[in-house]
């Protein structure tokens, strides 16, 4: 990891997953911010401009795909590394995420090594 810790935004509606992922990343030396829904996550991403967004796909209201498209269509946020985090393991969902331009696709439950590989890869 570089001398400046990466800033990571986790957008996840499940509080246990959100808190556990945040704690894991903080212990690895990252600066972590969290949002409990897509709408708040979008606002935070646009104001913080994190290095990486880790975003659940299935959330009430604004889903992960809408968050991703909104960020990618904005000049100020289009270069943010984007990681989808979901329990959806269907091949068509994984293909859709990569065709959209996602950096990584994590299947829940994921382990620490997978998470770090997505962030640093």
List pLDDT tens digits, range 16-43.
999 999 999 999 999 999 999 999 999 9
Check residue 3 and give its pLDDT. 56
Could you tell me which residues come within 8 angstroms of residue 18 by beta carbon, excluding any fewer than 6 positions away? 10, 12, 34, 36
Show the tokens assigned to 26: 């903080």
Could you tell me which residues come within 8 angstroms of residue 78 by beta carbon, excluding any fewer than 6 positions away? 71, 72
CATH class of 7-120: alpha beta
Show the tokens assigned to 118: 């997505």
Contact between 102 and 67 under an 8 Å Cβ cutoff? The reply is no
Give the predicted TM-score (pTM) of the model. Answer: 0.93
């Amino acid at each position: 990891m570089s001398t400046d810790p990466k800033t990571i935004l986790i957008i996840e509606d499940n509080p246990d997953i959100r808190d556990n992922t945040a704690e894991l990343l903080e212990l690895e030396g990252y600066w972590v911010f969290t949002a409990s829904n897509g709408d708040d996550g979008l606002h935070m991403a646009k104001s913080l401009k994190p290095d990486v967004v880790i975003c659940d796909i299935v959330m009430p209201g604004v889903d992960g795909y809408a968050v991703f498209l909104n960020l990618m269509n904005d000049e100020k946020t289009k270069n943010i590394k984007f990681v989808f985090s979901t329990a959806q393991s269907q091949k068509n969902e994984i293909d859709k995420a990569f065709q959209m331009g996602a950096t990584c696709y994590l299947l829940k439950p994921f382990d620490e090594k997978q998470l770090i590989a997505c962030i640093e890869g």
